[in-house]
């Protein structure tokens, strides 16, 4: 579990870098005018757009929780093996729940 | 130590083998930006996924009219770009070993993110000022 969580942190970070570039593109399109924004807005409304948003949400919440775990390690806390497994589980549960809440919102189920 | 290097000076022997003495600055930069991104990221995710991610043109522009939203967005853009560049640098350093390719990718990423961050910051200001 520890190695999978570690590589997931890196993978989600790379995914979020790409997502960050897309967000910047979204802001630039919004500043450019209604036509440019229309393309972005139109794509977000499609199934693919919603899949992208949900994927970025999953990457974001995982990276956020795993990042806080890294900050705790940097502060010298959480290196005992039971703690490593416990915090890893907390990270996975938090990321799953937060992603589920946002996905429900994105897909308009509630 | 390689015995065939007997004629080299001590400096020539160790050059390129050890720390470049720049790792601490990178670690501190990552540390500070990630600390800042915890609240900034939560704020951004909430705004993006709940409020404006699916907002139409008028609603999205209205959201940026708030000085708090615009200020936090610019902060998020700058801190996020720094964090992304530093993070990608580690990935490139770990997986790409050809010196030219490695440095080209690191410098290219820096230039790209710097240009995009400036462009996006100007865009936020443009919307905020109602231009």
- Chain A residues inside the 8 Å CB shell of B57: 30, 34, 37-38, 41
CB contact under 8 Å between A27 and B37, yes or no, is no
Domain ranges of chain B: 22-129
Measured distance CA(A48)–CA(B51) in Å, rounded: 19
The pLDDT tens digits for A43-66 are 988 999 999 999 999 999 999 999
What is the predicted pLDDT for the residue at A52? 93
The DSSP 8-state label assigned to residue A46 in this structure reads S
pLDDT tens column, A51-110:
999 999 999 999 999 999 999 998 889 889 999 999 999 999 999 999 999 999 888 875
pLDDT given at position A37: 93
Contacts of B77 in chain A (CB under 8 A): 24, 27
% of chain B at pLDDT higher than 70: 89
Cβ contacts of A83 within 8 Å, gap of 6 or more: A77
Residue B27 has pLDDT above 90, yes or no: no
Q: Which residues of B touch A14 (CB under 8 A)?
A: 87-88, 91
CATH topology for B22-129 is 3 helical TM bundles of succinate and fumarate reductases (1.20.1300)
Q: With bands split at pLDDT 50, 70 and 90, how would you rate the model's confidence at B53?
A: low
pLDDT at B19: 65
ipTM: 0.91
Tokens of B61: 């522009």
DSSP 8-state symbol, B47: I
- Which residues have CB under 8 Å from B8's CB, separation 6+? none
Provide the H-helix boundaries in chain B: 10-14, 23-45, 57-64, 67-95, 99-128
- Total-model pTM: 0.87
Which positions ≥6 away from B122 have C-beta within 8 Å? A31
DSSP H stretches of helix in chain A? 2-32, 34-45, 47-74, 81-106
pLDDT grade for B5, boundaries at 50, 70 and 90: low
pLDDT of residue A33: 92
Average pLDDT value over all residues in chain B: 87
Closest-CA distance of chain A to residue B36, Å: 11
pLDDT tens-place string over residues B100-126: 898 899 999 999 999 999 999 999 999
The answer, yes or no, to whether residue B2 has pLDDT greater than 60, is: no
Chain A contacts to B (CB-CB under 8 A): 10, 13-14, 16-17, 20-21, 23-24, 27-28, 30-32, 34, 37-38, 41, 44-45, 53, 57, 60-61, 64, 67-68, 70-71, 74, 102, 105-106
pLDDT at B31: 87
């Amino acid at each position: 579990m520890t190695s999978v969580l570690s590589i997931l942190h890196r993978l989600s970070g790379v995914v979020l870098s790409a997502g960050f570039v897309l967000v910047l593109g979204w802001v630039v399109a919004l500043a450019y005018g209604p036509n440019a924004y229309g393309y972005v807005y139109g794509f977000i409304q499609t199934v693919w757009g919603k899949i992208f948003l949900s994927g970025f949400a999953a990457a974001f919440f995982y990276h956020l929780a795993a990042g806080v775990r890294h900050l705790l390690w940097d502060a010298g806390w959480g290196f005992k093996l039971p703690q490593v497994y416990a915090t890893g589980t907390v990270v996975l549960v938090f990321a799953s729940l937060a992603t589920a809440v946002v996905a429900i919102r994105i897909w308009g189920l509630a | 130590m390689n015995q065939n290097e007997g004629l080299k000076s001590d400096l020539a022997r160790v050059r390129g083998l050890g720390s470049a003495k720049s790792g601490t600055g990178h670690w501190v930069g990552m540390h500070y930006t990630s600390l800042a991104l915890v609240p900034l990221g939560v704020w951004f995710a909430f705004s993006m996924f709940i409020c404006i991610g699916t907002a139409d043109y008028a609603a999205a522009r209205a959201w940026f009219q708030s000085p708090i939203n615009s200020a936090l967005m610019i902060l998020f853009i700058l801190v996020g770009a720094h964090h992304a560049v530093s993070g990608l640098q580690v990935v490139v350093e770990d997986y790409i070993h050809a010196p030219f390719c490695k440095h080209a990718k690191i410098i290219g990423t820096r230039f790209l993110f710097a240009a995009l961050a400036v462009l996006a910051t100007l865009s936020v200001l443009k919307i905020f000022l109602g231009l």
